[in-house]
Structure 1
């Protein structure tokens, strides 16, 4: 299995610089906000989103170095993603993220909400300073989409009538919008054609959907240690993902358990067993694979390069997390 480290070897130096710059970008004068940011950016993670921006930037600027605006876009992508995680963890009442205590666990809810808001605001300010209206519009859309996705997820808790299309729409808003719009923005900064910009958007959209569907499968098949949170936590909180929605088509009793919000002893364990005993996980794998293939298709017109190859292999990497 390819590791994220070897996959991103062509942009290793870019990612090191990105990590250094992120802490400086936050530069909060308030020590607690700065400590919260240090805690976030020090928690590791694969830096998948900025890596995609940097790979696309280099793939669309062959024989030239990428610009400071490309680098700043990658940094802003990670800032927006991190801000969304802080708020996500508060809403989900998660105590751990990547095995490390979450911001609200360490600093309290009030500081965590403000830290997330601060990161969104700081990202918006730096975004405006890119002086590129198209890019500003693309990344502003992401922040709007993220809020829309959170609202949809909140309104649809324990809703057994939720369709796969509605699930994919919410997944786009919460996860894939950032990858889609930042991929397109990287191309815009490189001066690609409008047609190529759309294909880069499609790449980010499909890779984002595949990534989140895999995450949703791992919520059932991964161990608590590897997930950094308890397995089955999405289902427990009423967030119905692809494996559950597919399982509901086969297992009518699952609907009863979900609609009473696992109120009785053993309900959650029974629900997890029903999902496992259905075709839900298998069909979700096929859905993730479909989107990964679509992502690769979107790159056919990009000139061959190491960075293009890494973007193609990234689709395999996303799926390989399942095995």
Structure 2
């Protein structure tokens, strides 16, 4: 399987520069958060979201150059993403993230909440300084969507009446909105046509949904070591994802276990087994593949460049994580 690191080689140097800039941006004004910043931006993440911004910047800008504004947009995108992860881990009481202790596990809830708040504030400040109202509106919408997604997820815990449409809407808010709106913002900074700008938004939306669906499948098919967190943790917390929603159609007893909120010690293991034995995982794979293929089609109007090809290859990479 192609790794994200090798896939993003056209912007590899740009991503290294981004990581160093992020550490400096966060720690320069608030030394007390330096340790948290080192931890957040020093860990080896995929850097998927800023990579999309940087690749689209090269794919849409004359001479495939990345301007200072594009670089700052990529940094803002990663700041917003990281801030949302820090807050999500506090809300979900997650002990691990990518196999490493979460910020609140290492530094306590107080520092974690402050670090997340600070990153959101910093991203808003740097966003305003881009002096581009259209981009400000796009990324401000993302911050609202992240909050809306977290609220919806909290309200729908263990709710077996949840529809697939509601699941996809929540997935858009929590994952795809940032990819969609930052992709569109990259196009806005490159002064692309309104039609192309909308296509870039749809690319990010479809990639984001495919990525989230694949993550939700891996919660049942991957090992704890691969996930970096306990397998089945979403289901245990009452977060019903595509594999579960499809599996409930095959076996109504799964609904009973979920509505009981796994009160008996063996209930969770039974529920996980029912999902794995159903058509839920295969149907979810098909759903993820649909969105990945839709994403690739959205790039048809871009000139043929290495960056465009990498963005198309990214849609295959998202699906390849399943195998």
TM-score (norm 1): 0.99
In the alignment, the residues of structure 1 paired with residue 28 and residue 253 of structure 2 have an alpha-carbon distance, to the nearest angstrom, of 51
Map Cα deviations across residues 162-218 of structure 1 (whole Å, 9 max, x no partner): 000000000000000000000000000000000000000000000000000000000
In the alignment, the residues of structure 1 paired with residue 265 and residue 41 of structure 2 have an alpha-carbon distance, to the nearest angstrom, of 39
In structure 2, the residue matched to 1:37 is: 37
In the alignment, the residues of structure 2 paired with residue 170 and residue 32 of structure 1 have an alpha-carbon distance, to the nearest angstrom, of 34
How has the CA–CA distance of structure 1 residues 129 and 286 changed in structure 2, closer, same or farther, with 3 Å as cutoff? Answer: same
Q: CA deviation at 1:243?
A: 0.2
In the alignment, the residues of structure 2 paired with residue 12 and residue 234 of structure 1 have an alpha-carbon distance, to the nearest angstrom, of 32
In structure 2, the residue matched to 1:182 is: 182
- Equivalences for residues 219-258 of structure 1 within 5 A: 219-258=219-258
Structure 2 unpaired stretches of 5+: none
How has the CA–CA distance of structure 1 residues 301 and 239 changed in structure 2, closer, same or farther, with 3 Å as cutoff? Answer: same
In structure 2, the residue matched to 1:203 is: 203
Secondary structure at the counterpart of residue 214 of structure 2 = helix
In the alignment, the residues of structure 2 paired with residue 239 and residue 200 of structure 1 have an alpha-carbon distance, to the nearest angstrom, of 29
What is the number of equivalent residue pairs in this alignment?
323
In the alignment, the residues of structure 2 paired with residue 59 and residue 301 of structure 1 have an alpha-carbon distance, to the nearest angstrom, of 11
Secondary structure at the counterpart of residue 63 of structure 1 = helix
Map Cα deviations across residues 287-311 of structure 1 (whole Å, 9 max, x no partner): 0000000000100101100000000
- Equivalences for residues 112-131 of structure 1 within 5 A: 112-131=112-131
Q: CA deviation at 1:77?
A: 0.4
Map Cα deviations across residues 73-114 of structure 1 (whole Å, 9 max, x no partner): 000000000000000111111111111110000111111111
In structure 2, the residue matched to 1:143 is: 143
In the alignment, the residues of structure 2 paired with residue 123 and residue 28 of structure 1 have an alpha-carbon distance, to the nearest angstrom, of 14
In the alignment, the residues of structure 1 paired with residue 19 and residue 114 of structure 2 have an alpha-carbon distance, to the nearest angstrom, of 22
In the alignment, the residues of structure 2 paired with residue 80 and residue 169 of structure 1 have an alpha-carbon distance, to the nearest angstrom, of 19
How has the CA–CA distance of structure 1 residues 64 and 230 changed in structure 2, closer, same or farther, with 3 Å as cutoff? Answer: closer
In the alignment, the residues of structure 2 paired with residue 271 and residue 65 of structure 1 have an alpha-carbon distance, to the nearest angstrom, of 51
Structure 1 unpaired stretches of 5+: none
Q: CA deviation at 1:28?
A: 4.9
In the alignment, the residues of structure 2 paired with residue 234 and residue 284 of structure 1 have an alpha-carbon distance, to the nearest angstrom, of 16
Q: CA deviation at 1:27?
A: 2.5
In the alignment, the residues of structure 1 paired with residue 17 and residue 109 of structure 2 have an alpha-carbon distance, to the nearest angstrom, of 31
In structure 2, the residue matched to 1:75 is: 75
In the alignment, the residues of structure 2 paired with residue 64 and residue 80 of structure 1 have an alpha-carbon distance, to the nearest angstrom, of 25
- Equivalences for residues 282-297 of structure 1 within 5 A: 282-297=282-297
In structure 2, the residue matched to 1:109 is: 109
8 Å Cα contact 2:57/2:65 also seen in 1: no
Aligned-residue CA RMSD (Å): 0.8
In the alignment, the residues of structure 2 paired with residue 255 and residue 215 of structure 1 have an alpha-carbon distance, to the nearest angstrom, of 22
Q: CA deviation at 1:150?
A: 0.2
Q: CA deviation at 1:32?
A: 3.4
In structure 1, the residue matched to 2:319 is: 319
Map Cα deviations across residues 125-173 of structure 1 (whole Å, 9 max, x no partner): 0000000000000000000000000000000000001000000000000
Q: CA deviation at 1:66?
A: 1.5
Q: CA deviation at 1:263?
A: 0.3
TM-score (norm 2): 0.99
In structure 2, the residue matched to 1:303 is: 303
Secondary structure at the counterpart of residue 299 of structure 1 = coil
Q: Does 1:281 align with 2:287?
A: no
Q: CA deviation at 1:24?
A: 1.0
In the alignment, the residues of structure 2 paired with residue 66 and residue 42 of structure 1 have an alpha-carbon distance, to the nearest angstrom, of 23
In the alignment, the residues of structure 1 paired with residue 297 and residue 38 of structure 2 have an alpha-carbon distance, to the nearest angstrom, of 38
Q: CA deviation at 1:4?
A: 1.2
